[in-house]
Each structure stands twice: as C-alpha cells, then as structure tokens.
Amino acid sequence: MNQQRRSLLKYSAVFGLMASAGLISVAQAQEWNKAAFEGKSLDEVFKILGAGSPEKSGAITLNAPDIAENGAVVPVGITTTLKAEQMAILVEKNPSSLAAQFFIPAGTESFVTTRIKMGQTSNVYGLVKADGKWLMAVKEIKVTLGGCGG
C-alpha cells in the first residue's frame, strides 16, 4: 500500500514538472526574443526564428513606399491572404535585421502595419508564418535620409 502511494507521488511529481515545463515554454513565447533581435544578418535571424530559407510568396503583400524621404519613419505593412500565425519585418542593411515580430491569434486578421527606422536604402522583408511554414515578400525601399545614426 505504502509502496503504491510512493509511486503515485512520484508520478504526480513528474506530471507536475511536465506541466510547469509546458507553462514555461508558453511564457517564453511572449518574452522578448533577444537572440533574434540581436541577429546581425538576415540568415542569422531566419535561423533563430526557425524560418530556414523562406520562399517568396505572391500571397503576401508588403505595403511600403518605394522611396522614403526620412529613414526614421518608414511605414511598413504586411497583408496576406494566408492565415498568418506570425509575422516579422526585417531590414537587410540595418545594424540588427529584425525590426518587429507579431504573434497573430485566431480571430485576428492577417494584417499589421507599423513604422520602422532604416539606416540606408535596403531590401525590406515581410515574413509570414502560415501553416507552420515561413514565407516572405521582399521590397527595396530607397532612403534619402538615414534614421539610425546621426
């Protein structure tokens, strides 16, 4: 009897650990992804996000100007017909590529717009994770006045 009770206790301890481990990973998803934001190159950020080498997709639209007069305020939006789970905005030639990442719960439309800083003329990448797969759209934005240094 006592033996059974012991093993029961052991099992509940294991399940407790698993649950707390699960909770921790949920919490971490919302925590600031330091490694990704400090990634210096596109490939580095792709790797940290688990995106590998994302394919270009016609289903993603990057709403951004062709020429940004002021690199400190460049409006960039991502829209897609896919059911996005995550979205990310990357600027190839910024000191750190990743500008912003969004987690889109069910019920929220696959549409996000924000404003970013660009140090110089660069390709801007709009990444979308849909169905567990990362896809992207690319657009070059010309910057006449940089917004990172000064």
Partner 1 sequence: MADPMRVRAAESGGVVDVKILMKHDMESGQRKDAAGKTIPAWFISTINVKANGKDVLNGQFGPAVSKDPFLNFKYKGAKGDKIVVSWVDSKGDKRTDEATAS
Question: Is 59 a binder of partner 1 (CB under 8 A)?
Answer: no
Task: Tell me which stretch binds partner 1 (CB under 8 A): 6-14, 46-54, 66-74, 133-141.
Answer: 66-74
Question: Is 84 a binder of partner 1 (CB under 8 A)?
Answer: no
Question: Is 140 a binder of partner 1 (CB under 8 A)?
Answer: no
- Rounded to 5°, the CA angle 65-127-92 comes to 65
Question: Is 117 a binder of partner 1 (CB under 8 A)?
Answer: yes
Question: Is 60 a binder of partner 1 (CB under 8 A)?
Answer: no
Question: In residues, how long is the chain?
Answer: 150
Q: Which residue has the tokens 């070059």?
A: 140
At 91, list the tokens. Answer: 């600027």
| Three-class DSSP category at 30 | helix
| Three-class DSSP category at 77 | strand
First CA to last CA distance, the chain:
75
At 128, list the tokens. Answer: 């979308």
Which lies closer to partner 1 via its Cβ, residue 47 or residue 111? 111
Determine which residue in the list 30, 55, 131, 132 makes contact with partner 1, applying CB under 8 A. 30
Question: Is 65 a binder of partner 1 (CB under 8 A)?
Answer: no
Residues that bind partner 1 (CB under 8 A): 30-33, 37, 72-75, 77, 91, 94-96, 98-105, 107-109, 111-119, 147-150
